Structure formats: structure tokens, C-alpha cells
Structure 1
Amino acid sequence: MKVKHTSALELTKTLVKEDSSWIQLHRSKIEDRMIDIAGGTGLDNSAGLNPIEAPDTIKEQTDDTNQTSYTPLLIAASKGIVEIVDNMIEVYPQGIEHTSSNEQNILHVAISHRKIEIFQRMKKMKTIMTCRLASRIDKKGYTILHHVADTKNYDGGHQPGPAFQLQEELKWFKRVQNIIPSHYVMHRDIEKHQTAEELFKETHSKLLENAQKWIKGTSQSCSAVAVGVATVVFAAAYTVPGGNDDTGHPVFLHSPFFLFFTIMNVLSLASSLTSVVMFLSILCSPFEYENFRISLPRKLTLGFTLLFFSVTTTMLSFAASILIIIHFKKTSWTSTLIYTAAFLPVSVFALMQFPLYKAFSSTLRALTRKFTPHYLLTAIQSKE
């Protein structure tokens, strides 16, 4: 695979030097404009089109060749092939400003197809170039923010649940909004006369409905599990392993396993009840678009993390109680059996929920990053 990848890169560099498609497409666009002028003024035109019907015919051809009119640079951007984009920009820097027949540049294409790697490369370019690309409006009157709202090229994203898919789209909308001129937020397209935000809410209404149902069902299921865990560990606190002596003190009070059992039991009870509070706060939320960008995914992440922690500490508490009962009479095979029985449910639970927890990781990183010294120092300096 490495050899094939290296060979493909070498072939790409060779083909890029021979590519002239962007020049040819530029010439064809000039010819189209000349035909438009000829049709509008009644002059003869070489294409043999009726002067009255010429503009409509050309418009239909343009709409039908949306993908075929893309240059290799725009095709590479739509597929997210970073190596080809980098090589083409290096060889033909002027090609980056070229547009398709629909007046879409590389930034329009990358944003429409949700190719964040290409978007980040364009964003890191010189400020003037980024502003020029971001300020472009295509033939439909779409800004780059409208292309975020348009789901024509949206394939559902890479997140496991509708709530995190919607969060991904909302973050993408906010990320693109940060690089466009501020007055473009109120710009309306030609076809529906909608702003980008209005178009986004219209095209993502079904995803919002699915996200609401999914997060409600997930929160209810998880809260029921958390309540069950809390009930078990609460009952275990009053039925300590080994029982009590005549004075009412636990028999194995001075055993290290009893201390470990107590600590795990308290942690399990605290984390399970806290997760219940988090899930209940989700069910009481308004479930609007803005809530799905930060608030609801963060609450779900914290609640699920606490639930997983409570299940883990419950099983550790169970293992400690078994070790207390058999005390020093245990053998090596009994210890192995106990450890296996303790960690098997936790391991199965972790493996089954790994795709969902992977989606939580980005939210967890964003949450923990706010408590790092670097973030706090930056926040203080910005306020000053």
C-alpha cells in the first residue's frame, strides 16, 4: 500500500504539470459570455443558437454539467484528496481562484462536500486570498455559508447518532461563518430568497427531529440504568460483606479489602446519581438547534461518562466484597475467576458502546481543554 501510494503521488506530480483543463474551461466560459452578449443584442453567433433561446439553452447545459465542469483541482477538493490539491496549487497558484461553470471556487466545493482538510488549508492561506475566496457568490446566489446549509452533497457525516451528526453540522456552520464578511449573514439566495440560516433550518429539520427522538430515548434508557446501579450500591452499603459483630461494627472493618469496597461503593453511588441528574437535565431541555451545538452533547457526554464510571466501580466493589468473604482462604484460580467476573460486564459494555463513546471524545477534549493552564491564561489575556 505504501508503494502504491508513493507511485500515485509521483504520477500526480507528472500529470499536474501537463494539466491545462482550468485554462480550457476558462476559455469556454468566455465563449459562453460572448454567446450571451450575442443573444442579448441580436448579433449572429457561431454556435448557431436562436438569439432569444440561447441564454436558456446555455443555462440548462450549465445545470446538467455541474460535476463535469469541475477542473481536476475542484474534483480533488470535492473528494478531499489533499495531496493532489497541494501539488496543483504549488504548480499553478493562479488556478486556486478559478471557478466552475456555476461560479463555484475551491472553497465552495470543499465546504459543500464537508472536506475539512481542504477547508483548513484554504483558511491558512494569506488573509487576502482567503477573503477573496470566501466572498465569492455562485450563480444560485449561494455564499459559502449557503453551501453549509445545502445538504445536496451531505452524506450523513461520520458520527454514530443523529444528535452528534447535527452537532457536527452546527459546528461546521459556525466554523464557516467565522471566515465570511459579517454582512453576508443576511444575504439571500436567488431561488428561494433565504438567508443561510433559514436554509439551514429548512434542510436540517428532519435531522433535528431525529436528533430529538434519539437523545430523548438515549437519556431515558441511561437514566433507568443509572437508577438501577444507584439502588444496588445503596442497598450494598447497609449489607456489608461479612456482617456486623455484637457492637454493630463490620467484622472486616480493618481489612484493606473492606476499605476498598467502601470507597468503590461510595464512588459508584455518587457517580450514578450525578449521571441521573445529567440525563434529567437533558430531558428538561428545549431541544432547539443551538442546544445541540454545545449544551446537549456535553450533558450527554458527562452523563454517559459518569454512568460508565459507576458501572466500573460497582463491579470493583463486587470483586472486593467477594475477596472479603473468602478472605485469606482464596487460591490463585479463585482470584482469577473473581477478577474475570468483575471486569467482564465492564469490558462488554465498553466494547458495545465504543463507537458512541468515540463521538464523546471530541466533546470531552473540548470540555477538559477549558481547564488547562494555557486556556485559562489565554482567556485572562483576552479580557485584559
Structure 2
Amino acid sequence: MDPYELLGVSRDADDAAIKKAYRSLARKYHPDVNPDEASQEKFKEISHAYEILSDPQKRAAYDRGGDMGFGFGGGAGAGAGFSFTDIMDAFFGGQGGGGTSSGRGPRTRTRRGQDALVGLEIDLAEAAFGASHEMTLDTAVVCETCHGDGAAPGSKPVTCETCHGAGEVAHVQRSFLGEIRTLRPCAACRGFGTIIPDPCRDCGGDGRVRTRRTLTIKVPAGVDSGTRLQLTGQGEVGPGGGPAGDLYVELRVARHPIFTRQGGDLHCTVTVPMTAAALGTVLTMPTLEADLVSEDFTPETPTSFDLEVKPGTQPGSEQVLRGLGVPGLHGRGRGDLVVTVLVETPTGLDEQQAELLAQLAKLRDEEHPAGSIKATKQGLFGRIRDVFGEH
């Protein structure tokens, strides 16, 4: 029978469609579900069909007219339908004519689980100073009913009657090299050497179930968006109750209402009236530690500081406060806090205010200022444009 017809897929089906079709049929005809002979024979046929169509070399050989063990196809020569892997396996890894077993034996049902990746959003203060977060995850854990072996309580796996526990069966085919015998995973037991006649009802014989569990994630101080934390052995439990993979937690730092982060430095802006910039003033500014204050915790470092705006401060001037930025990873120093001062020009002046400003302008001889005209400082892109002669 045509393997495409056996799996119910078109000849241009991709790997995903072929795998989906095979899994659907395998669940229906698997010996663990339907132990009758007709179902076992059907399962062998669809497994052989999947073996061909899932292998790019074998599929290409079949599409060219190779037999591939289905008893049809002709016209491609005596050697059609055999991949290089089949031939090499026969001579070096399988059973040659009259040879002995390769000794590979059945494969284990217990395998390592997959790694998992989850995201976690944290505050800027938590990224800077560290924190602990509880996360609820939906992951695979060992089935408590069967303890991972996949068999219902009171039962156990039995030796496969097809391969007699070897996990492999020999296939004999003829080619231009003569008779070739190759070892392939047993389709009846899927290469395990045993069959579970009474699968666990909770896990369906897989040895694991999905459930929700809570983990405490410890975020170290100094992390940033994109940092990944590795929690060894906290990922998915493997089939057959195998060891769990690792869990990776990717951090994303939420936007802060005051501070922006640039590496280890924090930046913020403060806007003062024109009069304050001219006469000078002192402002109380918060530090990032202010976000840590709670009913049961007060940080040891200051939560605020006095920012002195000196008389005559110009718009855009910066003040750098050393050591008030973000701590480095593993306690490697600490960045700075950079405060940019913006000056607000008054609008909507009433008659008295306008008169006072006019008197000030007269006193400063600024009633008809000429202004200071200078060339604008070019940025990087402006200099590149001039080099390449763009106008």
C-alpha cells in the first residue's frame, strides 16, 4: 500500500502534517490500546509508512519509484528504496547475511525532560537591589499514581512478543549488493522491548502529568532586561519519570515613573521655574531606595537627597550624584544618578507680572536683545551626511 494513503496525507505534505497524521493513527492502533492482531498489523504498516516519509532520503527514494518494502513501485532499478544508512547499517551496525546482532538492545522509556523558558516582569528597584518572586508554572511532573513507570497500579510492562524484548527487528531486503538485513526499532513496542498492557489512567502510560506548582525565584541585584536566570532541574520532567530539564527565567524590567536606566546609571529630569533657576533653590529628590520602603522594611541607605539648584542654572545643565545608581552584578560597584535640570518659562502673565519682568529687562538692558547666533552642533548622522555629500 502507498505510505501516503496509509497515513492519509498528500504527496506534498510537510513533516509536521506527516507527524500529526502518524500520531493520530498510532493512538488508534497502538497495541497498548488495541491488542488484537488486526490492529497490530495495521500499526506495523503505518509505522513503516512513517519511517519512510519521515526520512528525507527514504522518501525521495520512494518518490522516485523505490519499493521500500511495500511491494510496488518498480522501474527504479534493483537498488532503489535503500538509503545509504540502510546499507552502512547492514555492514557495520546491523545484521549482515547470517551475521550476529548489533547489540544495541531496547531503548529506555526514561528520558531527560525538556528545558522551559518563562518570562518575569520586575520593578526597577527589584532589578537594582534584588528580590524574591513567587511564580506559578504549568509543567510536567512525575505521575504519583504509577511513580513514573507508566503502568497502572498492580500491573507492570511485559516483554514484547514481536521482538522478544530486543527492541529491534531484522528486515531483509534485496539490492544490487545482494541480500541486506537491517535492524530497525520494533514497531510493536516502539523500540522499548516491552509493552504496557494496562497503562496508568492518570498519565496514559507516559509516566508524567501536567500540574501547577509554585516556585520562588531569587532575583540577584544588578540584573537588567533580557537577563536569564537558570534554575537547574526545575523544567519539564522527562517521559518515564526521567530527570527534569532546566528552567530559564527571562527578566523584563518595567518602566519606572521617575528614573530611566542606562547601564549602571540612573537618569531623571527636574523642572524648575525660571525664577528658581535664576535665584537658586534647594529641592528634595527621591532615590531609588524610596521604592523599597514598606511597613516592615526600611533601607539603610537614604531614600532622598537635597539637590542644590545654583543661581543662574541654565536649561539642560546636569548634576551627577556619585554612587546613587544601580549596583553592579555580584556587588561590583555602583553607578551614578544623573539629574538634568529643565527651566520652565512662565506663560499667561498678568499685567503686574509682565510689568515686573519688563522692569527687570530694563534693569538688565535686555529690552531689545540681539540674541546669540551660533552654528548648531552636528550629531553623528549629520557628520556622516556631510562626508557622503548629501544635501
- TM-score in terms of structure 2 length: 0.22
Query: Of Structure 1 and Structure 2, which has the larger fraction of its residues in helix?
Result: 1
- TM-score in terms of structure 1 length: 0.23
